Amino acid sequence: MGHNEGGVLEVKPGQAHGGTATTQSAATSYSYYILIVLMLGNTCAFLDRSIISVLLPQLKHELHLGDASLGFLSGFAFTACYVLFGLPLSALAERTSRRNIVGVSVALWSVMTALCGRVASFGQLVLLRIGVGIGEAGMTPSAHSLISDLFPPERRGTAVSIYTIGIHLGIFTGLALGGYLAEHYGWRKTFFFISLPGIVIALLVFLTVVEPARGRRERISFAGPQYQSFPKVIQLLWTDRSLRYTMLGTTFCSFVTFGLGAWLPSFLVRSHSLTVAQAGLILGVASGLGGLIGTLVGGVLSDRFSERNPHWRLWIVAVALMIFPVAVLVLLHTASIAVIGVAAMSSTLFTAVHKAPTSAVTLNLTPPRMRARATALTLFLTNLLGGGLGPLIVGGVSDALRPTFGADSLRYALITIAFFALASAFFYFVAGRYLGIAGHPSAAAEKSATEAPG
Protein backbone atom coordinates (compact mmCIF):
# COMPACT_ATOMS: atom_id res chain seq x y z
CA MET A 1 0.00 0.00 0.00
CA GLY A 2 1.00 3.58 -0.42
CA HIS A 3 -0.30 7.07 0.12
CA ASN A 4 -1.03 9.50 -2.67
CA GLU A 5 -3.09 12.58 -3.43
CA GLY A 6 -2.69 14.21 -0.07
CA GLY A 7 -2.93 11.13 2.10
CA VAL A 8 -5.40 9.07 0.10
CA LEU A 9 -4.76 5.39 0.68
CA GLU A 10 -3.90 3.52 -2.50
CA VAL A 11 -4.47 -0.22 -2.63
CA LYS A 12 -2.06 -2.02 -4.91
CA PRO A 13 -3.20 -5.01 -6.93
CA GLY A 14 -3.49 -8.01 -4.66
CA GLN A 15 -4.01 -5.96 -1.50
CA ALA A 16 -7.17 -5.09 0.37
CA HIS A 17 -7.97 -2.55 3.00
CA GLY A 18 -6.46 -4.58 5.79
CA GLY A 19 -2.94 -3.93 4.55
CA THR A 20 -2.11 -7.55 3.75
CA ALA A 21 -2.20 -9.55 0.59
CA THR A 22 -5.49 -11.30 0.03
CA THR A 23 -6.81 -13.93 -2.31
CA GLN A 24 -8.45 -12.87 -5.54
CA SER A 25 -11.83 -14.04 -4.23
CA ALA A 26 -11.52 -11.86 -1.13
CA ALA A 27 -10.54 -8.84 -3.22
CA THR A 28 -13.47 -9.49 -5.54
CA SER A 29 -15.86 -9.79 -2.61
CA TYR A 30 -14.73 -6.44 -1.27
CA SER A 31 -15.04 -4.90 -4.73
CA TYR A 32 -18.63 -6.10 -4.92
CA TYR A 33 -19.29 -4.78 -1.43
CA ILE A 34 -18.16 -1.31 -2.51
CA LEU A 35 -20.23 -1.64 -5.68
CA ILE A 36 -23.36 -2.42 -3.64
CA VAL A 37 -22.72 0.58 -1.39
CA LEU A 38 -22.35 2.78 -4.49
CA MET A 39 -25.52 1.30 -5.99
CA LEU A 40 -27.44 2.04 -2.77
CA GLY A 41 -26.06 5.58 -2.88
CA ASN A 42 -27.33 5.92 -6.45
CA THR A 43 -30.70 4.60 -5.29
CA CYS A 44 -30.83 7.28 -2.59
CA ALA A 45 -29.93 9.93 -5.17
CA PHE A 46 -32.88 9.10 -7.39
CA LEU A 47 -35.13 8.56 -4.40
CA ASP A 48 -34.42 12.11 -3.23
CA ARG A 49 -34.61 13.42 -6.80
CA SER A 50 -37.96 11.83 -7.66
CA ILE A 51 -39.76 12.46 -4.36
CA ILE A 52 -40.46 16.07 -5.32
CA SER A 53 -42.89 15.01 -8.08
CA VAL A 54 -45.04 13.12 -5.56
CA LEU A 55 -45.13 16.07 -3.18
CA LEU A 56 -46.03 18.76 -5.74
CA PRO A 57 -49.78 18.78 -4.96
CA GLN A 58 -49.19 19.33 -1.23
CA LEU A 59 -46.48 21.93 -1.90
CA LYS A 60 -48.82 23.77 -4.27
CA HIS A 61 -51.55 23.92 -1.62
CA GLU A 62 -49.50 24.88 1.44
CA LEU A 63 -47.01 27.26 -0.20
CA HIS A 64 -49.59 28.71 -2.64
CA LEU A 65 -47.51 27.97 -5.74
CA GLY A 66 -48.48 28.10 -9.40
CA ASP A 67 -47.71 25.42 -11.95
CA ALA A 68 -44.82 27.43 -13.39
CA SER A 69 -43.18 27.60 -9.97
CA LEU A 70 -43.71 23.88 -9.47
CA GLY A 71 -42.17 23.18 -12.87
CA PHE A 72 -39.15 25.33 -12.04
CA LEU A 73 -38.78 23.58 -8.69
CA SER A 74 -38.97 20.05 -10.06
CA GLY A 75 -37.02 20.74 -13.23
CA PHE A 76 -34.66 23.63 -13.84
CA ALA A 77 -33.69 24.37 -10.22
CA PHE A 78 -32.28 20.87 -9.84
CA THR A 79 -31.14 19.98 -13.35
CA ALA A 80 -29.17 23.16 -14.08
CA CYS A 81 -27.03 22.77 -10.97
CA TYR A 82 -26.70 19.01 -11.46
CA VAL A 83 -25.35 19.51 -14.98
CA LEU A 84 -23.14 22.55 -14.33
CA PHE A 85 -21.54 21.36 -11.08
CA GLY A 86 -20.89 17.88 -12.47
CA LEU A 87 -17.96 19.18 -14.53
CA PRO A 88 -15.91 20.88 -11.75
CA LEU A 89 -16.70 18.12 -9.26
CA SER A 90 -15.52 15.49 -11.74
CA ALA A 91 -12.28 17.45 -12.18
CA LEU A 92 -11.88 17.42 -8.40
CA ALA A 93 -12.41 13.65 -8.43
CA GLU A 94 -9.42 13.27 -10.78
CA ARG A 95 -7.16 15.06 -8.28
CA THR A 96 -8.42 13.95 -4.86
CA SER A 97 -10.12 11.07 -3.10
CA ARG A 98 -13.15 9.84 -5.01
CA ARG A 99 -14.33 8.04 -1.89
CA ASN A 100 -14.47 11.32 0.00
CA ILE A 101 -16.33 13.08 -2.83
CA VAL A 102 -18.95 10.31 -2.89
CA GLY A 103 -19.34 10.43 0.89
CA VAL A 104 -19.64 14.22 1.04
CA SER A 105 -22.02 14.23 -1.93
CA VAL A 106 -24.39 11.70 -0.36
CA ALA A 107 -24.30 13.51 2.99
CA LEU A 108 -24.88 16.90 1.34
CA TRP A 109 -27.93 15.97 -0.71
CA SER A 110 -29.40 13.99 2.20
CA VAL A 111 -29.08 16.92 4.61
CA MET A 112 -30.50 19.29 2.00
CA THR A 113 -33.44 16.94 1.45
CA ALA A 114 -34.14 16.78 5.19
CA LEU A 115 -34.03 20.58 5.45
CA CYS A 116 -36.62 20.86 2.66
CA GLY A 117 -39.15 19.86 5.29
CA ARG A 118 -38.34 22.97 7.34
CA VAL A 119 -38.87 25.64 4.69
CA ALA A 120 -41.31 28.51 5.05
CA SER A 121 -41.15 29.88 1.50
CA PHE A 122 -40.72 28.96 -2.15
CA GLY A 123 -37.32 30.68 -2.29
CA GLN A 124 -35.96 28.59 0.57
CA LEU A 125 -37.15 25.40 -1.10
CA VAL A 126 -35.50 26.38 -4.39
CA LEU A 127 -32.17 27.00 -2.64
CA LEU A 128 -32.31 23.63 -0.93
CA ARG A 129 -33.19 21.82 -4.16
CA ILE A 130 -30.19 23.53 -5.74
CA GLY A 131 -28.15 22.05 -2.89
CA VAL A 132 -29.57 18.61 -3.65
CA GLY A 133 -28.55 19.04 -7.30
CA ILE A 134 -25.01 20.07 -6.37
CA GLY A 135 -24.68 17.09 -4.05
CA GLU A 136 -25.89 14.58 -6.60
CA ALA A 137 -23.62 16.07 -9.28
CA GLY A 138 -20.58 14.62 -7.53
CA MET A 139 -21.88 11.05 -7.29
CA THR A 140 -21.81 9.26 -10.63
CA PRO A 141 -18.53 10.59 -12.12
CA SER A 142 -16.65 9.60 -8.96
CA ALA A 143 -18.51 6.28 -8.67
CA HIS A 144 -17.75 5.31 -12.28
CA SER A 145 -14.09 6.13 -11.78
CA LEU A 146 -14.02 3.96 -8.64
CA ILE A 147 -15.75 1.09 -10.45
CA SER A 148 -13.06 1.16 -13.15
CA ASP A 149 -10.43 0.45 -10.48
CA LEU A 150 -12.50 -2.20 -8.69
CA PHE A 151 -13.31 -4.37 -11.73
CA PRO A 152 -11.29 -5.50 -14.75
CA PRO A 153 -12.23 -4.02 -18.14
CA GLU A 154 -14.01 -7.16 -19.31
CA ARG A 155 -16.39 -7.05 -16.30
CA ARG A 156 -17.16 -3.33 -16.19
CA GLY A 157 -20.35 -3.64 -18.20
CA THR A 158 -21.86 -5.88 -15.54
CA ALA A 159 -20.48 -3.74 -12.71
CA VAL A 160 -21.84 -0.51 -14.16
CA SER A 161 -25.22 -2.14 -14.77
CA ILE A 162 -25.46 -3.08 -11.08
CA TYR A 163 -24.64 0.50 -10.11
CA THR A 164 -27.11 1.89 -12.64
CA ILE A 165 -30.11 -0.15 -11.46
CA GLY A 166 -30.09 2.23 -8.50
CA ILE A 167 -31.75 4.74 -10.84
CA HIS A 168 -34.78 2.54 -11.34
CA LEU A 169 -34.91 1.34 -7.73
CA GLY A 170 -34.77 4.94 -6.51
CA ILE A 171 -37.47 6.23 -8.85
CA PHE A 172 -39.79 3.32 -8.11
CA THR A 173 -39.27 3.64 -4.35
CA GLY A 174 -39.74 7.40 -4.51
CA LEU A 175 -43.05 7.11 -6.33
CA ALA A 176 -44.39 4.22 -4.25
CA LEU A 177 -43.07 5.02 -0.78
CA GLY A 178 -43.28 8.78 -1.26
CA GLY A 179 -46.99 8.65 -1.99
CA TYR A 180 -47.67 6.58 1.12
CA LEU A 181 -45.57 8.79 3.40
CA ALA A 182 -47.05 11.99 2.00
CA GLU A 183 -50.59 10.73 2.52
CA HIS A 184 -50.02 9.58 6.10
CA TYR A 185 -47.39 12.02 7.41
CA GLY A 186 -47.43 15.08 5.14
CA TRP A 187 -44.74 16.52 2.90
CA ARG A 188 -42.52 17.93 5.65
CA LYS A 189 -41.99 14.62 7.46
CA THR A 190 -41.70 12.83 4.13
CA PHE A 191 -38.64 14.89 3.20
CA PHE A 192 -37.08 13.95 6.55
CA PHE A 193 -37.84 10.22 6.30
CA ILE A 194 -36.56 10.03 2.72
CA SER A 195 -33.24 11.63 3.73
CA LEU A 196 -32.36 9.04 6.41
CA PRO A 197 -31.08 6.22 4.12
CA GLY A 198 -28.61 8.64 2.54
CA ILE A 199 -27.10 9.52 5.91
CA VAL A 200 -26.55 5.80 6.58
CA ILE A 201 -24.92 5.31 3.16
CA ALA A 202 -22.63 8.31 3.72
CA LEU A 203 -21.44 6.78 7.00
CA LEU A 204 -20.82 3.44 5.29
CA VAL A 205 -18.75 5.17 2.61
CA PHE A 206 -16.54 6.98 5.12
CA LEU A 207 -16.17 4.05 7.53
CA THR A 208 -15.87 1.02 5.24
CA VAL A 209 -14.82 2.10 1.73
CA VAL A 210 -11.13 2.46 0.87
CA GLU A 211 -9.84 4.41 -2.12
CA PRO A 212 -8.33 1.98 -4.67
CA ALA A 213 -5.21 2.87 -6.63
CA ARG A 214 -5.97 4.50 -9.96
CA GLY A 215 -5.25 2.28 -12.93
CA ARG A 216 -4.73 -0.81 -10.77
CA ARG A 217 -6.82 -2.98 -13.10
CA GLU A 218 -4.67 -1.94 -16.08
CA ARG A 219 -1.49 -2.22 -13.96
CA ILE A 220 -0.86 1.49 -14.50
CA SER A 221 1.11 3.05 -11.66
CA PHE A 222 0.65 6.67 -10.56
CA ALA A 223 3.42 7.84 -8.28
CA GLY A 224 2.15 11.39 -7.96
CA PRO A 225 -0.67 13.78 -8.82
CA GLN A 226 -0.95 13.63 -12.63
CA TYR A 227 -3.74 15.48 -14.34
CA GLN A 228 -4.88 16.28 -17.86
CA SER A 229 -6.81 19.44 -18.73
CA PHE A 230 -10.44 19.44 -19.83
CA PRO A 231 -9.48 20.23 -23.46
CA LYS A 232 -7.35 17.06 -23.44
CA VAL A 233 -10.34 15.02 -22.26
CA ILE A 234 -12.57 16.51 -24.96
CA GLN A 235 -9.84 15.91 -27.56
CA LEU A 236 -9.64 12.22 -26.62
CA LEU A 237 -13.42 11.81 -26.69
CA TRP A 238 -13.51 13.29 -30.18
CA THR A 239 -10.37 11.80 -31.77
CA ASP A 240 -11.00 8.22 -30.61
CA ARG A 241 -13.64 7.13 -33.11
CA SER A 242 -15.22 4.56 -30.81
CA LEU A 243 -15.66 7.20 -28.11
CA ARG A 244 -16.85 9.85 -30.57
CA TYR A 245 -19.63 7.72 -32.02
CA THR A 246 -20.52 6.31 -28.60
CA MET A 247 -21.05 9.87 -27.34
CA LEU A 248 -23.22 10.63 -30.38
CA GLY A 249 -25.15 7.42 -29.83
CA THR A 250 -25.91 8.06 -26.17
CA THR A 251 -26.83 11.70 -26.89
CA PHE A 252 -29.38 10.70 -29.54
CA CYS A 253 -30.69 7.99 -27.23
CA SER A 254 -31.26 10.62 -24.53
CA PHE A 255 -33.65 12.40 -26.92
CA VAL A 256 -35.64 9.16 -26.92
CA THR A 257 -35.70 8.59 -23.17
CA PHE A 258 -36.43 12.20 -22.19
CA GLY A 259 -38.94 12.75 -24.98
CA LEU A 260 -40.88 9.58 -24.22
CA GLY A 261 -40.69 10.04 -20.45
CA ALA A 262 -41.95 13.62 -20.58
CA TRP A 263 -44.94 13.06 -22.87
CA LEU A 264 -46.11 9.48 -22.45
CA PRO A 265 -48.24 10.21 -19.35
CA SER A 266 -49.99 13.04 -21.21
CA PHE A 267 -50.56 10.76 -24.20
CA LEU A 268 -52.31 8.16 -22.04
CA VAL A 269 -54.50 10.85 -20.46
CA ARG A 270 -55.40 12.54 -23.76
CA SER A 271 -55.75 9.59 -26.11
CA HIS A 272 -56.92 6.86 -23.72
CA SER A 273 -58.87 8.94 -21.18
CA LEU A 274 -56.89 7.59 -18.22
CA THR A 275 -56.57 9.57 -15.02
CA VAL A 276 -53.17 10.93 -14.05
CA ALA A 277 -53.01 8.38 -11.22
CA GLN A 278 -53.80 5.48 -13.57
CA ALA A 279 -51.22 6.62 -16.12
CA GLY A 280 -48.63 7.05 -13.38
CA LEU A 281 -49.24 3.57 -11.98
CA ILE A 282 -49.00 1.86 -15.37
CA LEU A 283 -45.89 3.73 -16.44
CA GLY A 284 -44.26 3.54 -13.02
CA VAL A 285 -44.43 -0.24 -12.91
CA ALA A 286 -43.64 -0.66 -16.61
CA SER A 287 -40.66 1.69 -16.67
CA GLY A 288 -39.35 0.36 -13.37
CA LEU A 289 -39.35 -3.26 -14.51
CA GLY A 290 -38.22 -2.46 -18.04
CA GLY A 291 -35.40 -0.22 -16.87
CA LEU A 292 -34.19 -2.71 -14.28
CA ILE A 293 -34.17 -5.64 -16.69
CA GLY A 294 -32.77 -3.69 -19.62
CA THR A 295 -29.92 -2.21 -17.60
CA LEU A 296 -28.82 -5.58 -16.21
CA VAL A 297 -29.25 -7.39 -19.53
CA GLY A 298 -27.28 -4.72 -21.37
CA GLY A 299 -24.37 -4.89 -18.94
CA VAL A 300 -24.16 -8.67 -18.63
CA LEU A 301 -24.63 -9.45 -22.33
CA SER A 302 -22.20 -6.77 -23.47
CA ASP A 303 -19.50 -8.36 -21.29
CA ARG A 304 -20.43 -11.88 -22.41
CA PHE A 305 -20.64 -11.19 -26.14
CA SER A 306 -17.53 -8.99 -26.25
CA GLU A 307 -15.41 -11.90 -25.01
CA ARG A 308 -15.93 -13.55 -28.40
CA ASN A 309 -16.22 -10.46 -30.58
CA PRO A 310 -15.26 -7.01 -29.21
CA HIS A 311 -17.61 -5.22 -31.61
CA TRP A 312 -20.65 -6.72 -29.89
CA ARG A 313 -20.11 -4.67 -26.73
CA LEU A 314 -21.81 -1.83 -28.63
CA TRP A 315 -23.58 -3.73 -31.38
CA ILE A 316 -25.93 -5.21 -28.78
CA VAL A 317 -27.05 -1.64 -28.09
CA ALA A 318 -27.58 -1.01 -31.80
CA VAL A 319 -29.75 -4.13 -32.09
CA ALA A 320 -31.88 -3.13 -29.08
CA LEU A 321 -32.43 0.37 -30.44
CA MET A 322 -33.41 -0.99 -33.85
CA ILE A 323 -36.12 -3.09 -32.17
CA PHE A 324 -37.32 -0.13 -30.09
CA PRO A 325 -39.44 1.49 -32.88
CA VAL A 326 -41.54 -1.69 -33.11
CA ALA A 327 -42.34 -1.53 -29.39
CA VAL A 328 -43.12 2.18 -29.44
CA LEU A 329 -45.38 1.88 -32.51
CA VAL A 330 -47.36 -0.84 -30.75
CA LEU A 331 -47.52 1.38 -27.67
CA LEU A 332 -48.86 4.34 -29.64
CA HIS A 333 -51.43 2.48 -31.74
CA THR A 334 -52.96 -0.20 -29.52
CA ALA A 335 -56.27 0.31 -27.76
CA SER A 336 -55.57 -2.30 -25.07
CA ILE A 337 -54.36 -0.98 -21.72
CA ALA A 338 -52.67 -4.32 -21.00
CA VAL A 339 -50.75 -4.15 -24.28
CA ILE A 340 -49.82 -0.54 -23.50
CA GLY A 341 -48.26 -1.70 -20.23
CA VAL A 342 -46.25 -4.45 -21.92
CA ALA A 343 -45.18 -2.17 -24.77
CA ALA A 344 -44.15 0.58 -22.34
CA MET A 345 -42.04 -1.91 -20.40
CA SER A 346 -40.48 -3.20 -23.63
CA SER A 347 -39.74 0.32 -24.87
CA THR A 348 -37.99 1.19 -21.62
CA LEU A 349 -36.10 -2.11 -21.66
CA PHE A 350 -34.70 -1.58 -25.16
CA THR A 351 -33.49 1.95 -24.40
CA ALA A 352 -32.05 0.95 -21.00
CA VAL A 353 -29.76 -1.58 -22.70
CA HIS A 354 -27.44 1.26 -23.77
CA LYS A 355 -26.54 2.51 -20.29
CA ALA A 356 -23.97 0.01 -19.03
CA PRO A 357 -22.18 -0.68 -22.36
CA THR A 358 -21.84 3.07 -22.96
CA SER A 359 -20.28 3.64 -19.55
CA ALA A 360 -18.06 0.55 -19.83
CA VAL A 361 -16.63 1.67 -23.18
CA THR A 362 -16.07 5.19 -21.84
CA LEU A 363 -14.18 3.81 -18.83
CA ASN A 364 -12.20 1.28 -20.87
CA LEU A 365 -11.02 3.75 -23.51
CA THR A 366 -10.04 6.64 -21.23
CA PRO A 367 -7.03 6.88 -18.91
CA PRO A 368 -7.72 6.62 -15.15
CA ARG A 369 -7.42 10.36 -14.52
CA MET A 370 -9.87 11.22 -17.28
CA ARG A 371 -12.68 8.82 -16.39
CA ALA A 372 -14.63 10.98 -13.95
CA ARG A 373 -14.65 13.92 -16.37
CA ALA A 374 -15.51 11.72 -19.35
CA THR A 375 -18.52 10.48 -17.38
CA ALA A 376 -19.46 14.03 -16.38
CA LEU A 377 -19.24 15.23 -19.99
CA THR A 378 -21.52 12.38 -21.06
CA LEU A 379 -24.06 13.37 -18.40
CA PHE A 380 -23.72 17.01 -19.47
CA LEU A 381 -24.52 16.20 -23.10
CA THR A 382 -27.39 13.83 -22.38
CA ASN A 383 -29.07 16.04 -19.78
CA LEU A 384 -28.53 19.34 -21.58
CA LEU A 385 -29.36 18.23 -25.13
CA GLY A 386 -31.61 15.22 -24.59
CA GLY A 387 -33.29 16.58 -21.48
CA GLY A 388 -33.64 20.07 -22.91
CA LEU A 389 -34.48 19.41 -26.55
CA GLY A 390 -36.13 15.97 -26.50
CA PRO A 391 -39.40 17.04 -24.83
CA LEU A 392 -39.31 20.35 -26.72
CA ILE A 393 -39.13 18.66 -30.13
CA VAL A 394 -42.02 16.30 -29.36
CA GLY A 395 -44.11 19.18 -28.03
CA GLY A 396 -43.34 21.34 -31.05
CA VAL A 397 -44.28 18.59 -33.50
CA SER A 398 -47.49 17.96 -31.56
CA ASP A 399 -48.45 21.64 -31.83
CA ALA A 400 -47.71 21.60 -35.56
CA LEU A 401 -49.89 18.51 -36.07
CA ARG A 402 -52.80 19.71 -33.92
CA PRO A 403 -54.70 21.41 -36.80
CA THR A 404 -54.75 18.05 -38.60
CA PHE A 405 -55.09 15.51 -35.80
CA GLY A 406 -56.59 17.55 -32.97
CA ALA A 407 -56.21 16.11 -29.47
CA ASP A 408 -54.57 13.01 -30.98
CA SER A 409 -51.62 15.01 -32.34
CA LEU A 410 -49.36 13.83 -29.52
CA ARG A 411 -49.73 10.22 -30.69
CA TYR A 412 -48.11 11.07 -34.03
CA ALA A 413 -45.59 13.49 -32.55
CA LEU A 414 -44.20 10.71 -30.36
CA ILE A 415 -43.40 8.70 -33.48
CA THR A 416 -40.52 11.14 -34.07
CA ILE A 417 -38.57 9.53 -31.22
CA ALA A 418 -38.36 6.33 -33.27
CA PHE A 419 -36.15 8.20 -35.77
CA PHE A 420 -33.86 9.37 -32.96
CA ALA A 421 -33.61 5.74 -31.81
CA LEU A 422 -32.61 4.60 -35.31
CA ALA A 423 -30.01 7.40 -35.53
CA SER A 424 -28.66 6.32 -32.15
CA ALA A 425 -28.50 2.70 -33.34
CA PHE A 426 -26.49 3.81 -36.39
CA PHE A 427 -23.93 5.64 -34.25
CA TYR A 428 -23.58 2.69 -31.88
CA PHE A 429 -23.07 0.36 -34.83
CA VAL A 430 -20.31 2.59 -36.21
CA ALA A 431 -18.74 2.91 -32.74
CA GLY A 432 -18.74 -0.88 -32.44
CA ARG A 433 -16.96 -1.23 -35.76
CA TYR A 434 -14.11 0.94 -34.50
CA LEU A 435 -13.94 -0.69 -31.09
CA GLY A 436 -10.57 -2.31 -30.52
CA ILE A 437 -9.70 -5.22 -28.25
CA ALA A 438 -12.68 -6.01 -26.01
CA GLY A 439 -12.44 -4.67 -22.52
CA HIS A 440 -9.01 -3.06 -22.81
CA PRO A 441 -7.97 0.58 -23.16
CA SER A 442 -7.06 1.77 -26.63
CA ALA A 443 -3.39 2.29 -27.34
CA ALA A 444 -3.92 6.04 -27.49
CA ALA A 445 -5.65 6.12 -24.13
CA GLU A 446 -3.02 3.98 -22.45
CA LYS A 447 -0.24 6.10 -23.91
CA SER A 448 -1.97 9.25 -22.70
CA ALA A 449 -2.30 7.75 -19.22
CA THR A 450 1.29 6.66 -18.87
CA GLU A 451 2.78 9.81 -20.40
CA ALA A 452 0.69 12.30 -18.43
CA PRO A 453 2.86 15.04 -16.95
CA GLY A 454 3.79 14.47 -13.33
Angle at CA of residue 314, ends 309 and 317, nearest 5°? 125
- Say whether pLDDT at 425 is over 90: yes
Position 439 scores a pLDDT of: 40
Written as one letter, the residue type at 26 is A
Give the per-residue pLDDT at 53: 77
Who contacts 145 (Cβ-Cβ below 8 Å, separation ≥6)? 93, 94, 98, 214, 363, 368, 371, 372, 375
Distance (Å, whole) CA 275 – CA 266: 10
In this structure, which topology does domain 2-217 adopt according to CATH? Growth Hormone; Chain: A; (1.20.1250)
Domain formed by 230-450, architecture: Up-down Bundle (1.20)
Considering only residues 34 and 81, tell me which one the structure prediction assigns the higher pLDDT. Answer: 34
pLDDT higher than 50, residue 26: no
Predicted local confidence at residue 88, as pLDDT = 94
pLDDT digits (tens, 9 = 90+) for 262-309: 888 888 888 888 887 788 788 888 888 999 999 999 999 999 998 888
At 147-161, the pLDDT tens digits run: 999 998 888 999 999
Helical (H) or strand (E) element with 144: helix 139-150
Query: Looking at residue 161, what is its pLDDT?
Result: 94
Write the pLDDT tens digit of every residue in 361-382.
999 998 888 999 999 999 999 9
Q: What is the pLDDT of residue 226?
A: 63
Give dist(CA 413, CA 404) in Å, integer.
12
- How much is the average pLDDT of 221-228? 52
pLDDT tens per residue across span 305-336? 988 889 999 999 999 999 999 999 999 999 89
Residue intervals in the chain for CATH 1.20.1250.20: 2-217, 230-450
pLDDT at 9: 36
Name the amino acid, one letter, at 347.
Answer: S
Alpha-carbon distance 206 to 446, whole Å? 31
Average pLDDT estimate for 438-449: 41
The mean-pLDDT minimum among 18-27, 170-179, 371-380 falls in 18-27
pLDDT digit string, tens, across residues 11-20: 343 333 333 3
Q: Per the confidence metrics, is the pTM higher than 0.85?
A: no
> What per-residue confidence (pLDDT) applies to 440?
40
Q: Calculate mean pLDDT across residues 5-9.
A: 36
pLDDT in tens, 58-76: 888 888 888 678 777 777 7
Which of 45-59, 98-112, 418-432 is the least confident region?
A: 45-59
- Residue 68's pLDDT is 73
Cα separation, 449 vs 274, in Å, equals: 55
Q: Compute the distance between CA of residue 365 and CA of residue 347 in angstroms, rounded to an integer.
A: 29
- pLDDT score of 451: 42
Task: State yes or no: pLDDT of 339 exceeds 60.
Answer: yes
Sign of the Cα torsion 116, 120, 126, 128 reads negative
Averaged over 213-218, what is the pLDDT? Answer: 78
Tell me how many helices (H) and strands (E) the chain has. 18, 2
